[in-house]
Amino acid sequence: MAIQGKLLADLLGFTVQGANKWKREERPIVALLDKFFNDADISEFLETGTIKRLSHEDNILQEVDLYKKLLTDHALYSAKEKLQKLLDGNFIDRTIYTKGAKGILVDVLDLIDSNDDSYTMENAKQRLLDAIMGSEVRWFSLKNPQKQKLLSSLLNKHLSGIEAYAIIKNPKEALNY
């Protein structure tokens, strides 16, 4: 596919006749441009000074986003396993030790907007722990201050920052084990 004479002329700073002459002469620069660029690329470059599909920074950002999604997805599944072991481990632990702790976590996650971009991989764990300790609980309830401290301690000890981030971003899936 040959680049239009007008676009080639604008790109090279020639008249259309001069650009067409170079095409007829089969100059290597014209062959190079024809081989690797289309009219849309040349138009975009003339208008913006860049070609987005070739922008190294954009490609890097897309790769970073992909890696972030993959990492978060992996962290979600490891967090689900940990939560299940910590909160629903065996009958005795579930009945006596952690009963009520899962309810506190569910309540806290219900209050957090999973689309809130202020939760990052770097701060998600601490913010989750702060939300747990700041949640309202009653002494004469399954969700009491002791269970609140227990939950906070378990999550602090056993969850990584990326796992906490994955839980916040996918609360229903994280607790669906």
Whole-angstrom distance, CA of residue 98 vs CA of residue 90: 10
Whole-angstrom distance, CA of residue 74 vs CA of residue 56: 27
Span 66-99, pLDDT tens digits: 999 999 999 999 999 999 999 887 766 666 678 8
Whether residues 9 and 71 share a domain: the answer is no
Whether residues 38 and 77 share a domain: the answer is no
- When pLDDT is cut at 50, 70 and 90, the band that residue 17 belongs to is very high
Span 103-125, pLDDT tens digits: 999 999 999 999 999 999 999 99
Domain final residue, candidates 20, 35, 54: 54
Amino acid 140: pLDDT:
79
Range of the domain at 111: 56-174
Whether residues 60 and 34 share a domain: the answer is no
- When pLDDT is cut at 50, 70 and 90, the band that residue 13 belongs to is very high
With vertex at residue 62, the alpha carbon angle to CA 45 and CA 173, rounded to the nearest 5 degrees, is: 150
Whether residues 147 and 84 share a domain: the answer is yes
Whether residues 96 and 47 share a domain: the answer is no
How many domains is the chain partitioned into structurally? 2
Whole-angstrom distance, CA of residue 81 vs CA of residue 85: 6
Whether residues 33 and 115 share a domain: the answer is no
Residue with more model confidence, 127 or 52: 127
Whether residues 93 and 33 share a domain: the answer is no
Whether residues 119 and 47 share a domain: the answer is no
Amino acid 11: pLDDT:
93
Whether residues 49 and 63 share a domain: the answer is no
Identify the residue whose tokens are 């020639």. Answer: 14
Whether residues 75 and 46 share a domain: the answer is no
Span 128-152, pLDDT tens digits: 999 999 999 888 788 899 999 999 9
Amino acid 118: pLDDT:
96
User: Mean pLDDT in the chain?
Assistant: 91
Whether residues 36 and 71 share a domain: the answer is no
Domain final residue, candidates 54, 72, 93: 54
Question: Which has the closest alpha carbon to 166: 68, 98, 50, 23?
Answer: 68
Whether residues 117 and 129 share a domain: the answer is yes
Amino acid 119: pLDDT:
96
